[in-house]
Amino acid sequence: MNTFLNVILIIVVVAAIVLGIMYYFGRKMERKQVESQAMIDAAKQTVTLIAIDKKKMKLKDAGLPEVAMEQAAWYAKRVKVPVVKVKVGPKILTMIAEEKAYQQLPLKTEAKVVISGLYITEVKSARGGLLPLPKKKTIGDRIKGIFKKDK
């Protein structure tokens, strides 16, 4: 019985340490996110562009400028991000989009968007209308989908 209590005590102590570390790093990441959001809000501008192509790809494969790649965190280079190839005036650029803006941005039509540097934050309007956002699936819908595939 004594060894059982020791094992439980060790598990509780390790879990408390892990939770403490996660809390510390979570707060640190939250502060960084607030600072970066303030920088994005400061550099906002509305432009008219035409979306040529959009894909989800790794940051290192997206063809972004070297400066953008140097500023990206090490873990962000391996994650797939929404990348949009756009025509702004006479220039063709590769930009990163926020997930909601990526889903709403129509291809090969003129759209008015809010950008901050190489980052598309919001789609204001588009000729022909914006694409509807996909409905989020609930857990019940996912379970029903699994059982429908089996039949």
pTM metric for this prediction: 0.68
Measured between alpha carbons, how far is residue 104 from residues 40, 67, 91, 121 in Å? 20, 28, 22, 11
Helix, strand, or coil here: 91?
strand
What token pair was written down for 2? Answer: 């004594």
Residuewise pLDDT in 10s, the chain (151 residues) = 688 999 999 999 999 999 999 999 999 999 998 998 888 888 899 999 999 999 999 888 888 888 888 888 887 778 899 999 999 989 999 999 999 999 999 999 899 999 998 889 999 988 877 777 777 878 887 788 777 765 5
Helix, strand, or coil here: 61?
helix
Q: What is the pLDDT of residue 151?
A: 52
Q: How far apart are CA 108 and CA 79, in angstroms?
A: 26
Q: Which residues pair with 80 in a beta bridge?
A: 58
